[in-house]
Amino acid sequence: MSGPGAAERVEHALVPWPGRDITVTVVAVVLTAAVFVAVAEHGALARIQHLDDAWLRIMISHRSGPVTAFAKFLNVLGLVYVTLPVRIVIAGFLALRRRWWRLAAFAGAVLLSEILIGTLKGVYHRARPPVSLVTTTGASFPSGHAIAASVTVVAAVIALVAPGRARVCLRAPPVATRGRWSCRRTAR
């Protein structure tokens, strides 16, 4: 649609509130770096391992059929067979809509996360728990499933949803306030 009188579609800004978004990003990066430093430092890792071991004992002692089935379902959602087609569909949609900045941001986030997953697993070599629900190989930290799912979902919301209340409600779970969901209440 490039003829005279054709309305140009305006692409919404990816970062509508630069100050707030930069602050949130810096805080997230600092917290993430702190976790990675703690896992790399052997003294802190020993304390973290005690928590991991206690959590593993609790999980094993409370295993039940429905919860295990749900955990295995979440495992499937994080597999490349699920995340890759979802990512391709999102990228295709953004390309068809000619949302080039959003496509570049989405593809960049996905690419960077995939590069970092393998690299960081190689650096940390953190062993997996001895009793696993699913058969897997490789190191456990950082979690490839968690990173792939998180990056896909957050990048998809940022790329596909225009800035405003809808994006805020999708990025963070609604918080119950006075018996109502905050996102529903403000959408009236």
The pLDDT tens digits of the residues spanning 161-180 come to: 776 665 556 554 444 444 44
Please tell me the pTM assigned to this model: 0.64
pLDDT per residue as tens digits for the range 95-150: 998 888 888 888 998 898 888 888 888 887 777 777 666 667 666 777 777 788 88
Confidence of residue 74 (pLDDT cuts 50, 70, 90): confident
Closest C-alpha among 149, 145, 86 to residue 121:
145
Domain boundaries, the chain: 16-62, 64-186
| Residue 84 in tokens | 């890759």
**Mean pLDDT, all residues of the chain:** 75
Q: What angle do CA 124, 69, 142 make, to 5 degrees?
A: 10
- Per-residue pLDDT, averaged over 26-41, amounts to 84
Q: Round to whole Å and give the CA distance between 33 and 130.
A: 27
From the CB of residue 153, how many other CB atoms can be counted at a distance below 10 Å? Answer: 14
CA distance 163 to 168: 8
pLDDT band at 91, cuts 50/70/90? Answer: very high
Asked whether the predicted pLDDT for residue 28 surpasses 80, the reply is: yes
